[in-house]
């Protein structure tokens, strides 16, 4: 699927969904060429139009800094990750950008809200995106806003988990697994934000970037730094919460073990007496009707004596 936004002679913005329009356009007329899960014919048509090679999905997913940003005499190549939230976990999808003169080309494999929002604004007739640099800035600003919303939602979720622990609710394996999943999501959000930081820092260093865009990118970079600090704080809260839950579980297990230990110790004297009188030899008081009462009384006395001793030593 392809979406082409181009400028006409009267400076209005038109759009097309087919690559055939490229035969009547020049690069200077192009504003934005968005390739969403493109076919082979669409990619070849765009490559011929731009006289360049579009990056493959594997190249876009490279982690090395040199693969995330590069430029030559005519173009700037940018690869960035976009976070897609799911019901249980988050996924990172790579998007490639090519900035050529005043135009931008984007290549992606999944639908992204940031792209849809910017396209809607362009079709609404807004003139705040006169060049590809402005479109890229708009996409990054929109994406950072969405990331900030996700961080806020995660903070509220962490607060709910913390309240559950404070209220003394039952916590167990599922609770710890939920915290672990939230930690994974927090790390993915941080990784996604750091990726934007690296990309914006690289664009700021380029001489091709207009001064107006540099100023806005610098402000966006400060916002990203604050988001990174927020994610670090959220991760620290999750670690503290996880340690608290593990400590509560250990305390509960220690209480159970203490009960078993005390019961075993209390039963040791009666067990000893019962074992002595259970031997098959002649013993004192053997054969009398009240022997069982006397032996039971001795066992009870030893239990009471053990309890008194343990309480005096604050073991109970």
2-7 and 30-36 as β-strands: parallel, antiparallel, unpaired? antiparallel
Provide the angle, in degrees to the nearest 10, between the axes of the packed helices 132-166 and 173-205. 160
- Lowest-confidence pick of 62-66, 124-128, 204-208, 220-224: 62-66
The β-bridge partners of 281 are: none
- Lowest-confidence pick of 57-61, 106-110, 205-209, 244-248: 57-61
Average pLDDT of the segment spanning 80-104: 80
User: Does the pLDDT value for residue 89 go beyond 80?
Assistant: no
Query: d(Cα 192, Cα 194) in Å, to the nearest integer?
Result: 6
**Apex CA 269: angle with CA 263 and CA 275, to 5°?**
115
- Secondary structure string (H, E, C) spanning the chain: CEEEEEECCCCCEEEECCHHHHHHCCHHHEEEEEEECCCHHHHHHHHHHHCCCCCCHHHHCCCCHHHHEEECCCEEEEEEEEEEECCCCEEEEEEEEEEECCEEEEEECCCCHHHHHHHHHHHCCCCCCCCHHHHHHHHHHHHHHHHHHHHHHHHHHHHHHHHHHHCCCCCCHHHHHHHHHHHHHHHHHHHHHHHHHHHHHHHHHCCCCCHHHHHHHHHHHHHHHHHHHHHHHHHHHHHHHHHHHHHHHHHHHHHHHHHHHHHHHHHHHHHHHHHHHCCCCCCCCCCCCCHHHHHHHHHHHHHHHHHHHHHHCCCC
pLDDT-above-70 percentage for the chain: 84
Q: What is the pLDDT of residue 287?
A: 58
Q: Average per-residue pLDDT in the chain? A: 77
Structure tokens at 222: 């400060």
Q: What is the pTM of this model?
A: 0.70
User: Does the pLDDT value for residue 284 go beyond 60?
Assistant: no
How does pLDDT run across 134-146, given as a tens digit for each residue? Answer: 888 888 888 888 8
30-36 and 69-71 as β-strands: parallel, antiparallel, unpaired? unpaired
Q: What is the pLDDT of residue 61?
A: 55
Pick from 139, 148, 100, 129: nearest CA to 212? 129
The number of beta carbons lying within 10 Å of the beta carbon of residue 18 is 10
Q: What is the pLDDT of residue 73?
A: 79
Average pLDDT of the segment spanning 286-298: 65
Identify the residue whose tokens are 């940003």.
Answer: 69
Pick from 245, 218, 230: nearest CA to 193? 230
How does pLDDT run across 174-190, given as a tens digit for each residue? Answer: 777 877 777 888 888 88
Query: d(Cα 132, Cα 27) in Å, to the nearest integer?
Result: 12
Residue ranges covered by each domain of the chain:
2-249, 255-312
How does pLDDT run across 244-265, given as a tens digit for each residue? Answer: 777 777 777 777 787 777 777 7
CATH of 255-312, one of 1.20.58, 3.40.50, 1.10.357, 1.10.3470: 1.20.58
Per-residue pLDDT band for 281 (boundaries 50, 70, 90) equals very low
Do 2-249 and 255-312 come out as alike in CATH topology?
no
* Fold that domain 2-249 belongs to in CATH: Beta Polymerase; domain 2 (3.30.460)
User: Does the pLDDT value for residue 33 go beyond 60?
Assistant: yes
How does pLDDT run across 187-245, given as a tens digit for each residue? Answer: 888 888 888 888 888 888 888 888 888 888 888 888 888 888 888 888 788 787 777 77
């Amino acid at each position: 699927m392809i979406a082409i936004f181009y400028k006409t002679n009267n400076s209005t913005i038109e759009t097309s969904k087919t690559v055939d329009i490229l035969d009547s356009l020049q690069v200077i007329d192009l504003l934005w060429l968005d390739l969403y899960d493109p076919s082979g014919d669409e990619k070849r048509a765009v490559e011929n139009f731009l006289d360049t090679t579009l990056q493959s999905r594997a190249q876009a997913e490279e982690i090395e800094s040199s693969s995330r940003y590069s430029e030559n005499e005519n173009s700037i190549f940018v690869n960035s990750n976009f976070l897609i939230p799911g019901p249980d976990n988050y996924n990172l999808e790579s998007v490639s950008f090519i900035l050529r003169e005043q135009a931008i080309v984007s290549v992606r494999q999944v639908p992204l809200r940031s792209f849809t929002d910017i396209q809607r604004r362009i079709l609404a007739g807004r003139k705040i995106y006169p060049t590809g640099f402005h479109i890229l800035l708009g996409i990054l600003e929109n994406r950072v806003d969405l990331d900030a919303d996700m961080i806020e939602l995660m903070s509220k979720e962490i607060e709910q988990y913390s309240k559950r622990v404070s209220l003394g609710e039952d916590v167990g394996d599922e609770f710890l697994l939920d915290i672990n999943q939230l930690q994974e999501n927090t790390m993915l959000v941080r990784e996604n934000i750091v990726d934007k930081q690296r990309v914006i820092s690289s664009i700021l260093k380029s001489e091709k970037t207009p001064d107006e865009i540099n100023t806005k990118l610098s402000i966006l970079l400060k916002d990203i730094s604050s988001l990174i600090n927020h994610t670090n704080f959220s991760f620290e809260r999750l670690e503290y919460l996880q340690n608290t839950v593990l400590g509560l579980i250990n305390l509960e297990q220690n209480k159970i073990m203490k009960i078993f230990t005390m019961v075993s110790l209390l039963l040791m004297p009666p067990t000893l007496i019962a074992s002595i009188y259970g031997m098959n030899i002649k013993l004192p008081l053997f054969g009398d009707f009240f022997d069982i009462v006397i032996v039971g009384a001795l066992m009870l006395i030893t239990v009471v004596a053990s309890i008194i001793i343990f309480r005096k030593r604050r073991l109970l």
